Amino acid sequence: MLIYFLMLFLAGLAALLGRPKEPVNRWATAFLWLASIGGIAPWAEQKGWTDAASVLELLNTCLTPWAALMFCLAYSGLLRTTRSWWLAALGMLVLPVVSMMEAWRSGHEPNYMLLLLWTAPYYIGACASLILSLKREQDRYKRRSRLIMAVIIVPTLLAVLILFNIGRTLSPEFDFFRYVSFFIFFSMGAAVVGLFLYGVLGIRLKLERDPLESAIRTASMGASMLNHSLKNEIGKISLASDLLRRQLDRLESAREAPGFPGKRVSPAVAHETAELLEKPMSRVAAHEAVEFPGKTMSQAAVHEAAEEQLEQIARSTGRMLETVDRIQSQMKEISWREEPLRLPELLQRVMERSKPLAEARGVRLQLELAECPEWLAADAFHLEETLVNVLTNAIEATPSDGQVLLEVFRGPRHAVIRVLDTGIGISADRLPHVFDPFFSTKSGRLNYGIGLSYAHQAMRMAGGKIKLAPREGGGTQAELLLPVHKLIAVGSLVGEEER
């Protein structure tokens, strides 16, 4: 019995520690801890603590069905607001309390017929809510997680209902627990398998040979991308520098040669300069000032060519620094500092920063603020950078004459910032990897594959999340979900300023 208690208690503790702020995990913990009491009550009775054992068994018998139903309703998404949770929890608690009062009045012995009248609908409702949520789920990855949860919960709840509640109603003295325990161990085994394969309640266990393997693999991908980008720019710098040195050496040699006529360069230098610069000789001839036999080039034209090489070196150096700075700024740990901000003003800044890229690609940008909340508690810098990254991805994925829409509204549990584009969308096989560092569906020098990874990290630090999904008819939908309690009422903000 103590093993049964420890298994359920530790499972509840893991669910709570894994995601302590999630209501679903809290209800899972309450359900598992109340169920675990059934394993410690017989142990207390063996120790001679009869009254304590009766109280523990009463709590287990009456409150476990209630907690199981509340967990399943929360997990299935049928309870979307805090108010609905409280109303459902308090309303469903009435019958368990009545049963406990009746048992207490009759000497701590529960009335199993009365229990059956309400525990049967509770357990059946819990199972039905899990099956309904599985049937309604469209996302295949979430559907897989819901299937695992249904496999873990439904058989055991039905077994408890049939073997324990109905069985004890027919034969109160018979020990049905030995049969129920098989289903409980089955659920624990299924939960362990689910933790390793797909994850349960947002928690997934992963075995690695080396704890640093993932970090080293990510660093290797980043180093490879950085090496490729820098190698291209260094090659341009090397070529431009060599060309500039040879031009200057030949010009100096021409100056020292006898009969140097001043501002003239030999035909060989002029022809080699034109070839290295990949310029047609007609362009070189346009700069000639003094005639020589054959094709010649003025000193001013050589200086102009040299200046072009210096500009090329400066551009390549600038791109190298930009590459390093961009990777460093978006891959370091984010420090999220919340403060009140005007959300419409921040969105306007995001649109202004994204407008040049949209105009260059012929994409129409639209901002919808009709339902936009006025004030939000967030880190203005990181939220703005996140939105710019998401909007940039949408613009780059949208063909010319396409449209990108940015809209904001308040949902039941989240403040939602949504970006909709009319691009080519994301294929199902790439969707699970879009938030991986250095993963990109686009090719090009500036596509480092870190923008969405940065956005995911920023939303996680904000207590929210980012979701990407294909749109029906083509395109992609990106949603930034911030907890609804981050929204600030204007009245409360004014009150804070007055204090």
| CATH 3.30.565.10, the chain: domain bounds | 339-498
Burial of residue 390 (CB within 10 Å: 0-12, 13-18, 19+) is buried
Q: Kind and range of the H or E element at 342?
A: strand 339-342
Residue 251 reports pLDDT greater than 50:
yes
Tell me which residue of 112, 123, 192 sits closest to 155, measured CA to CA.
123
Closest CA to 375 of 479, 464, 491: 491
Tell me whether strands 297-298 and 414-421 are parallel, antiparallel or unpaired.
Answer: unpaired
pLDDT at residue 399 tops 60 = yes
Most confident of 121-125, 174-178, 447-451: 121-125
Which superfamily does CATH assign the domain made up of 339-498 to? Answer: Histidine kinase-like ATPase, C-terminal domain (3.30.565.10)
Q: What is the end-to-end Cα distance of the chain in Å, rounded?
A: 57
| pLDDT (0 to 100) of residue 406 | 92
Nearest to 255 by CA among 325, 302, 309: 302
Q: Which residues of 121-154 are buried (b: 16+ CB within 10 A; e: fewer)?
A: ebbebbbebbbebbeebeeeeeebbbbbbbbbbb
What is the dihedral sign for C-alpha 91, 96, 99, 105?
negative
d(CA 197, CA 189): 12
Tokens coding 418: 């949504």
Residue 288 identity (one-letter amino acid): E
Amino acid 207: pLDDT: 47
- What is the model's pLDDT at position 299? 58
* Average pLDDT along the chain: 73
Q: How far is CA 68 from CA 2, 122, 158, 267, 425, in A?
A: 21, 8, 12, 91, 40
Give the pLDDT band of residue 419 (cuts 50, 70, 90).
Answer: very high
Q: What percent of the chain has pLDDT over 70?
A: 62
Question: Where is pLDDT greater, at 107 or 381?
Answer: 381
| Percent of the chain whose pLDDT exceeds 90 | 6
Residue 221: helix, strand or coil by DSSP?
helix
Q: Which residues sit opposite 421 in a β-bridge?
A: 404
Given a cut of 90, whether residue 347 has pLDDT beyond it is yes
Q: How confident is the model at residue 404 (pLDDT cuts 50, 70, 90)?
A: very high
